[in-house]
Amino acid sequence: MLLRCLRWIRVKITQRAQRFLLRVLASGPIPQHVAFVMDGNRRYARRHQQAIHEGHSEGFVALRRMLEACLRLDIRCVSAYAFAMDNFRRSPEEVDHLMKLAHEKLMEMSLHGQILEEYGVRLNVLGNRSLLPDYVQEAICHVESVTRHNNKAILNICMSYSSQDEMTTAVESAVRNSLEKSDPDICEITEHDISAQLMTAGSPPLDILIRTSGVKRLSDFLLWQCSEDTQIHFSKAYWPEFGLLDFVPILLDYQRKIWRQRLPTRRLRQ
């Protein structure tokens, strides 16, 4: 009984400390779009002597945890790399579990009273859906339909996704639109035309991209969206372990850079 009481007190103290920390962070500049490459689920499972599917399950718990932290900070858009097109090369057993897990979590998030409804989040699933099982496609259509009127925030779940595939499709669409509107001999495509055809069209510009597990590469994720202003961070933590204490230094670094950019303007006005 005493141990249970102590655990309860520790949880309450931690929750209050986190809420205070979020309020302090929210007083500074806040990014509008943060993306996560959720890497390290399998290595996390091996390190903890778990089955691979348990690591993926813990990864979805981490996604919910970080999504809620972002929403409390009033970050308008969160993008998460859930399943790359290349991941279909993994064992059939692992792919099958990931598809079932995705179906389960998508349906869970669409329920009344869950996080998407609580924070007014519209969910978009980005990627080549035709490669996904029918039951996952049905779940995607359901949750997108349920959340389509939510307008406070956006959650982009990238499944069966490849940035190269996204850009190829966007260029094809931009060319087709241009040919329909103008003389075929004067087909001009601008950067804006391509951006408008990307799967992320409607999302704010990407401010921060975070990859966990210590691996330093982008793995074909949001390559077009990574502009010169996008801050890229690599965290050593495996994704299931990634939490607010890992996120805070990244946000503080973002805020320092924003304040530094604004400082010359203030001095000139003085």
pLDDT of residue 2: 55
Every domain of the chain and the residues it spans: 31-162+205-254
pLDDT of residue 255: 94
pLDDT of residue 268: 45
Which residues of the chain fall below pLDDT 50?
A: 11, 266-270
**Sign of the torsion formed by the C-alpha atoms of 215, 216, 219 and 225:** positive
pLDDT of residue 243: 93
Concatenating the DSSP letter of every residue in the chain gives -HHHHHHHHHHHHHHHHHHHHHHHHHTS---SEEEEE---HHHHHHHTT--HHHHHHHHHHHHHHHHHHHHHTT--EEEEEEEEGGGGGS-HHHHHHHHHHHHHHHHHHTSTTSHHHHHTEEEEEES-GGGS-HHHHHHHHHHHHHHTT--SEEEEEEEEE-HHHHHHHHHHHHHHHHHHHS-GGG----HHHHHHHSTTTTSPPP-EEEE-TT-----SSSTTT--TT-EEEE-SS-GGG--HHHHHHHHHHHHHHHHHHHHHHHHHH-
pLDDT of residue 147: 96
pLDDT of residue 25: 77
How many residues make up the chain in this entry?
270
pLDDT of residue 189: 87
Q: Evaluate whether the domain defined by 31-162+205-254 bears CATH number 3.40.190.10.
A: no
- Residue 128: strand pairing partners: none
